[in-house]
Amino acid sequence: MYYKKLMDIFTTTDIEDIFPKISINTFDNFIRAQVMKKQRYISPYKFAYEHNITVNESVKFFMYFTGDDNLFEPIYYFECSRPSCYDSRIYLDINDLDRFICDECGKKYKFETIQRYIKVLFKLSDSLDLPKESKKITKKDPNSTYEALKELPPHLKLESPSHSASQQSFTSEGDELNPEEGVDLQLVMELNTKNDGTSISPAVERFKEAFMSLEEK
């Protein structure tokens, strides 16, 4: 199920054209490492640090795996401004976007007040059962970019520059990142677009539409 999902995304979308450097195994290993650390949320910030890509690239990459029985369930929240609230996160439900109330202190918020502060987390879907053994994935499609790259002479492959030196510092910084820090909704909505202008994650697109309709009220 999990591997089928991963394979489906890598073979049926344009993800490999946009991210030729990131293989299924790379992403699989990253997710596994987070699950081993008992992380509830998979952080695009951490993925960006560990794989030497920008946060924007990482968030766009995550869009391919978000929503509708995919790997990640998007979780939307903002934080209660009252410092006395211990668990200050207020989670949003796309079907109930008129209600912005802190469960802890009862404070009611207006959409205009919170709209710029909504953040998104990527929760590994509960219905996914991650197999205990990792699987080495080999691609068989000769037309894929992945295969084409493998056949290039080594010096022509797209390697990340200055791999060894900078990687070290990235990793230590990456460990200090809070894995439960969400990404700005505005950024997520912006990056949920393919090169041809269509949206990547239909679930995020639906949230965007619901969000926009509130903006127009």
- Map the footprint of Zn ion across residues 106-135, applying CB under 5 A: 107
Does the footprint of Zn ion cover residue 99 (CB under 5 A)? no
CB of 86 or CB of 93, closer to Zn ion:
86
Which residues is 101 bridged to in the sheet? 108
Cα 143–chain centre separation: 27
Does the footprint of Zn ion cover residue 85 (CB under 5 A)? yes
Of 29-37, 73-81, 178-186, 200-208, the segment contacting Zn ion by CB under 5 A is 73-81
Does the footprint of Zn ion cover residue 79 (CB under 5 A)? no
Does the footprint of Zn ion cover residue 147 (CB under 5 A)? no
Alpha helices in the chain (DSSP H): 2-12, 15-18, 24-36, 44-50, 55-63, 111-114, 145-150, 163-176, 185-191, 202-216
Which of 101, 105, 148, 152 is in the footprint of Zn ion by CB under 5 A? 105
**Region class of 67: left (phi > 0), else alpha (psi between -120 and 50), else beta:** left
Shortest distance in whole angstroms from residue 81 CB to Zn ion: 8
Does the footprint of Zn ion cover residue 101 (CB under 5 A)? no
CB of 102 or CB of 118, closer to Zn ion:
102
Phi, psi at residue 9, to the nearest 5°? -65, -45
Q: How far is the C-alpha of 195 from the C-alpha of 35, rounded, in Å?
A: 31
Shortest distance in whole angstroms from residue 184 CB to Zn ion: 21
Which of 29, 69, 82, 87 is in the footprint of Zn ion by CB under 5 A? 82
Does the footprint of Zn ion cover residue 80 (CB under 5 A)? yes
CB of 59 or CB of 92, closer to Zn ion:
92
Does the footprint of Zn ion cover residue 104 (CB under 5 A)? yes
Does the footprint of Zn ion cover residue 90 (CB under 5 A)? no
CA distances from 41 to 33, 121, 183 (A): 12, 7, 12
Does the footprint of Zn ion cover residue 102 (CB under 5 A)? yes
Structure-token match 């926009």, residue found = 212
Structure token pair of residue 12: 């049926």
Shortest distance in whole angstroms from residue 102 CB to Zn ion: 3
Phi, psi at residue 138, to the nearest 5°? -115, 135
Residue ranges that bind Zn ion, judged by CB under 5 A: 80, 82, 85, 102, 104-105, 107
